Amino acid sequence: MRDIVAAVNDPELPSITIAELGILRDVRMDGETVVVSITPTYSGCPAMGVIAEDIAAALRAHSYESRIETVLSPAWTTDWMSESAKQKLREEGVAPPGDAICPQCSSDDIRIVSEFGSVACQALHACVSCGEPFPYFKTLR
């Protein structure tokens, strides 16, 4: 049952599961209902509503009723993101939190283009060495 929930992907990062992202806190039974606790990443991240729906849909597919609880404390930080998630980000050309290098050429000569990238959790940086812009997953502590 936890495996079903853990395999749900982040809608903004489809190759990364919510377990790898570190937002899945707890899965337990309350009578016949599966209670899933998740901690939002960035406050106001619109993906959280989608994630809750995806969890409910995944459990429904296995005939489980579910309830999603949001746990705000302790707050999620990018330290909760697993190494496998960071590696997948790099493979997709996204610089994971803490990586201040270009995912294309590994140069550390980078500049911030915009604090707001195509999705809320990412900023747009550009590499001075190779000229490539790339999304940077913002560090949060």
Burial label, 110 (beta-carbon count in 10 A; 0-12, 13-18, 19+): buried
Residue 90 lies near Zn ion (rule: CB under 5 A): no
Binding residue for Zn ion (CB under 5 A) from 59, 102, 117, 135?
Answer: 102
The nearer residue to Zn ion, 82 or 129, going by C-beta atoms, is 129
Residue 128 lies near Zn ion (rule: CB under 5 A): no
Buried/exposed 43-78: b ≥16 CB within 10 Å, e otherwise: eebebbeebbebbbebbeeeebebebeeeeeeebeb
- Single out the segment in contact with Zn ion by CB under 5 A; choices: 1-9, 13-21, 53-61, 121-129: 121-129
- Single out the segment in contact with Zn ion by CB under 5 A; choices: 15-23, 92-100, 104-112, 114-122: 104-112
Binding footprint of Zn ion on the chain (CB under 5 A): 102, 104-105, 107, 127, 129-130
